[in-house]
Structure 1
Amino acid sequence: MTSKTPHAPDAPRAAVASDPRRWAGLAVLSASLLLVVMDITILNVALPAISADLRPGTVSLLWMVDVYALVVAGLLVTVSALGDRWGRKRMLIAGFAVFGTASVLVVFADSPGAVIAVRALLGVGGAMIMPSTLSMIRTLFPDGRERATALGVWAAMAAVGAAFGPIVGGFLLEHFSWHSAFLVNVPVMAVAIVAGLVLLPEARNPSPGPLDFPAVALSMAGMVALVYAIKSAGKHGLLDATALVSAAVAAVMLGWFVRRCLRRPDPLLELRLFRSPSFSAGALAALTTELAMAGMMLLMAQWMQLVQGYGPLETGLRLLPTALAAIISSPAAPAIAARAGARPVLAGGLAIAGLGFAVLGLAPQPLGYWPVALALMLIGMGMGSLAIASAVIMAGAPPEQAGSAAAVEETSYDIGGALGIALLGSLAAAVYRGDLATGELASLGVTGGAAETARESLTGALDVAGSVNASLADIARTAFEHSLGLTGLAGALLMLAAAAVVWRLTPRDLDLSAADH
């Protein structure tokens, strides 16, 4: 792949390539990513224990879940730009320190507001860590083939973190208080700080322009409004007033931000990178892969615990096919791309994930675990495309713009995750509500507020069944499985459509093995 953007001098990159510590540095970056992703998924397992201890209201509970993503979304672009100027290693080490400090402060969290504040501070640390790991890989591995392999390992760690988070969380919660789910971060972050100081080289943009403070404000407001709109629409429907207002604010702020970035010679975020079709293909692949993972993991965790009756630890173990498949496919994807080309791997991974969704939609009901395990394995195999997507994105930017490229990829993940939960979750909820007609509920003696609670969620239906009519539980579980099947078919169509677009955008002769692109 070629780029007309001027590159930094070759000598420093060659020096980095010959540094034998680069693979040890990758281990530090991968371990930090693993922990951050685990921490995100551990919260899902810890929420019941936190709720039982602190008794948060509905609004507080929603903020405990949402504040992390909102903070990360608001800070990603700004933190990446600051890292380009201040130094990406410094930003990463500072992120480790913030993340570790927030994990210590959880010991003193004795109210819902305190937990929300800790989660917000964890979001600040996460926003500093996530794009820094990607941009540091760009610095550590200027050789294209090595960089693709390193990004394969990086992608595998993201999948492993998502799968092992519930397992670790379930184990800790069975033996200790919910605080332990956060405190486990502290020793790892302490080691990461020391190892990062020793093993990672410093890198920054050699000639950065002045920081564009109006663009900083626009990116923060626009991204927070966008993610909040998606989450509100997912919870309350597309016509929810809050969602519509937030979407309008996001459109204005982000439209203004894009216009400002395109008009400046030294923008906060280098959006001109999207002029490359392959760069756009990589960003789309990253977004849709995360969309699939986030949406499906949400529904699978509910199915396993509420329909099948598995405990938190058993649920985590039964989600392992995704991680195991990703561990194999992500590091292997660069080698396959070197032989067959990047385009079939990039689009093929999305298609394989689409087949995983199709299995859920076509499997006979009631669902058994083995069709679900096959679907999870195929979705995990599709994660292999994420390694190539990362390689395409990072190869599309010269070293001095690594921060912008990393911000684009991490923003794709963030929006993809929110969209996955909102779109697939909303579709599943709509099908579920449609199956639980008010007339049928009335025939069971479930009316008024109880009927609304039962139609709102499977958890609500099971609560109502325990106090009003036990037969409602079986009907609600059947409705949930039906919604899961139809959501699987919709997800399959979405992933296959994305695969077709990515195939069309990606150049046939795209080569990721060159030293620079």
Structure 2
Amino acid sequence: MTVLEHTTSSTVPAPHPRRWAGLAVLSASLLLVVMDMTVLNVALPEISADLRPDSVSLLWMVDIYSLVVSGLLVTVANLGDRWGRKRMLVTGFSIFGLASLAVLVADSPGQVIAIRAVLGIGGAMIMPSTLSMIRQLFTDPRERATALGIWATMAALGGALGPILGGALLQAFSWHSAFLVNVPVMAVAIVAALILLPESRSPSPGRWDAIGTVLSMVGMVALVYSIKHFGKDGLTATGALVSGAVAIVALGAFVRRCLRRPDPILEIRLFRRPAFSAGVISALAASIAMVGTMLLLSQWMQLVQGYSPLGTGLRLLPEAVGAVIASPLAPALASRIGARAVLAGGTLVSGLGFLVLFLWPTLNYPVVAGATLLVGIGLGSLAIASAVIMAGAPPEKSGSAAAIEETSYELGGALGVAVLGSVAGMVYRGGLTTDDLAGQGITGSSADVARESLGGALDIAREAGASGARVAAEAQAAFTDSLVWASLAGGALMIVTAVAVWLMTPRDLDVSSGHD
């Protein structure tokens, strides 16, 4: 039996007696971390109004969390395999809670940036630990597929509930509440994890690879940084080009090192399994399309439709409703029609949901609600993607599998903002030309601000006097067009991915049997 083959049914360990209670702890912690990311995005305008950060500080407030998480995922997952996954998870809970409590003394942009960085450390410890511990708790493949369906549901629910919770907190309290809400929940999570979760670690971790650790951290941070800044500053931006070159060199050396070592820090050889690769690709594509399009949708609802942050969060619920319905059903459906059909079919359904936004003649909320419901139903297939990814790794390599999946989501989010954001920006600027603005008396730096973002255009319109209403209407129409074309790009990506997943995934793949 090779290192990538599964244990046979005769050697599968007995299921843990408290596995379902343990799943509740893991799912709740994932729900909170995902919610926290979106809560903070909603809170950023109030943080900016209170602390008055300059443009560089504001950029770091937004970027630092994802940079820290992406840099640490591989290292933390490998360390959890050695040190103990439960210990890593509880440590992540503690760091997340203490960093959230530190907001009470934060009174400058630099301190908020530092808190966001420490939250990233805690998040990097929590995210892959939840997946790898599910692999350890649920030794029966059929139960594991169901557990991963619940895990995927919590991820989707967290993304939807975050803006709602953030909007409700900000309407009643200051921006500090977006951090402080984590503290009591993390305290409960620590106690529950200590009582309910078993400890697990790799039985033969091998030697720690210090060089590989440094290469992975440098390479991932440089890659995410370059993707973000290519999207913001263009393909010729010097900083993005330099960081991109650093990423290529560091990650190339990291991959070669992992392939040559018998005990690599990340099991790159897992990609030799087509089903594993298909699961990762589907997760990556879904994250690109979802993050990019949903970011534009939330801005469209607030700046074009005029909804409040809380109202916007509530109106984005159909996507979560679809995912909550479909994710738990995906494993049972896969047992009837096959994992390949569910994985590729769900990806296709999500792609069609995005295409509805492009093809419908007039964009309004009922159309958006129907389209996002369709997207959410399709995203139920990500439960199968997680099952395929985790089933494709032996128990001792569950940390590597979890790190690869979480990295695909992290990279997908950065690519979604950069690539689909660039598509939207190009369409927006094409619909709001300098000649159009000059005709309304807006030139020079004011025109540049208006063409940079819809928020900037609306600020300029409010100062433009009699012509302001027309400028605002033209900017809102241009932004709506940019959302429509970005949705086309996201939908096309999902449809192409569906075809690729169908071709790559074995026809007889059965995640309930534990092997492909």
TM-score range, shorter chain: over 0.9
User: Structure 1 residue aligned with 2:109, among 99, 108, 112?
Assistant: 112
User: For residue 447 of structure 2, what is the aligned residue in structure 1?
Assistant: 451
> 1:332-378 deviations in whole A, cap 9, x for unaligned?
1111001000001111111111111101101123x210111111111
User: For residue 356 of structure 1, what is the aligned residue in structure 2?
Assistant: 353
Amino acid at match of 1:475: E
CA RMSD of aligned residues (A): 1.4
User: Structure 2 residue aligned with 1:203, among 188, 200, 203?
Assistant: 200
1:142 CA displacement: 1.2
User: For residue 259 of structure 1, what is the aligned residue in structure 2?
Assistant: 256
- Aligned pairs for 1:238-253 within 5 A: 238-253=235-250
1:119 CA displacement: 0.3
Residues 1:192 and 2:181 aligned together: no
1:417 CA displacement: 0.7
User: Structure 2 residue aligned with 1:464, among 453, 460, 463?
Assistant: 460
User: For residue 315 of structure 1, what is the aligned residue in structure 2?
Assistant: 312
**Partner Cα distance (1:387, 1:486) in 2:** 28
Amino acid at match of 2:266: L
Distance 1:27 1:11, change over 3 A: farther
Asked whether the 8 Å contact 2:289–2:493 carries over to 1, the reply is: no
Asked whether the 8 Å contact 2:86–2:199 carries over to 1, the reply is: yes
Identical columns (%): 67
Residues 1:150 and 2:147 aligned together: yes
Asked whether the 8 Å contact 2:288–2:490 carries over to 1, the reply is: no
Asked whether the 8 Å contact 1:103–1:186 carries over to 2, the reply is: yes
1:170 CA displacement: 0.5
> 1:211-269 deviations in whole A, cap 9, x for unaligned?
10000000000000000011001111222221111111100000000000000000000
- Aligned pairs for 1:288-367 within 5 A: 288-365=285-362, 367=363
User: For residue 170 of structure 2, what is the aligned residue in structure 1?
Assistant: 173
**Partner Cα distance (1:420, 1:125) in 2:** 24
**3-state SS in 2 of match to 1:68:** helix
**3-state SS in 2 of match to 1:257:** helix
- Aligned pairs for 1:200-239 within 5 A: 200-239=197-236
**Partner Cα distance (1:143, 1:239) in 2:** 51
> 1:433-458 deviations in whole A, cap 9, x for unaligned?
01111111111101000000000000
TM, length-normalised to structure 2: 0.97
Asked whether the 8 Å contact 1:8–1:399 carries over to 2, the reply is: no
**3-state SS in 1 of match to 2:203:** coil
**3-state SS in 1 of match to 2:13:** helix
Asked whether the 8 Å contact 1:164–1:316 carries over to 2, the reply is: yes
Residues 1:497 and 2:496 aligned together: yes
Asked whether the 8 Å contact 2:346–2:378 carries over to 1, the reply is: yes
**Partner Cα distance (1:375, 1:474) in 2:** 24
Amino acid at match of 1:457: S
User: For residue 402 of structure 2, what is the aligned residue in structure 1?
Assistant: 406
Amino acid at match of 1:472: V
Asked whether the 8 Å contact 1:7–1:400 carries over to 2, the reply is: no
Asked whether the 8 Å contact 2:215–2:254 carries over to 1, the reply is: yes
User: For residue 139 of structure 1, what is the aligned residue in structure 2?
Assistant: 136
> 1:95-145 deviations in whole A, cap 9, x for unaligned?
000101101001111100000000000000000000000000000111111
Amino acid at match of 1:396: G
**Partner Cα distance (1:373, 1:237) in 2:** 33
**Partner Cα distance (1:371, 1:451) in 2:** 32
**Partner Cα distance (2:377, 2:40) in 1:** 25
Asked whether the 8 Å contact 1:50–1:178 carries over to 2, the reply is: yes
1:491 CA displacement: 1.4
User: For residue 488 of structure 1, what is the aligned residue in structure 2?
Assistant: 487
User: Structure 2 residue aligned with 1:21, among 18, 21, 25?
Assistant: 18
**3-state SS in 2 of match to 1:206:** coil
Amino acid at match of 2:231: G
**Partner Cα distance (2:290, 2:11) in 1:** 38
Asked whether the 8 Å contact 2:3–2:394 carries over to 1, the reply is: no
**Partner Cα distance (2:165, 2:219) in 1:** 35
Amino acid at match of 1:142: T
Range moving further from structure 2, 273-282 or 489-498: 489-498
1:10 CA displacement: 7.5
Residues 1:473 and 2:441 aligned together: no
The runs of at least 4 aligned residues of structure 1 exceeding 4 Å deviation read: 6-13
Unaligned runs of 5+ in 2: none
Residues 1:285 and 2:279 aligned together: no
Unaligned runs of 5+ in 1: none
Residues 1:393 and 2:389 aligned together: yes
**Partner Cα distance (1:219, 1:5) in 2:** 22
**3-state SS in 2 of match to 1:14:** coil
Number of positions where the alignment pairs a residue of Structure 1 with one of Structure 2: 513
> 1:292-343 deviations in whole A, cap 9, x for unaligned?
2111110011000000000010000000001111100111111100100000
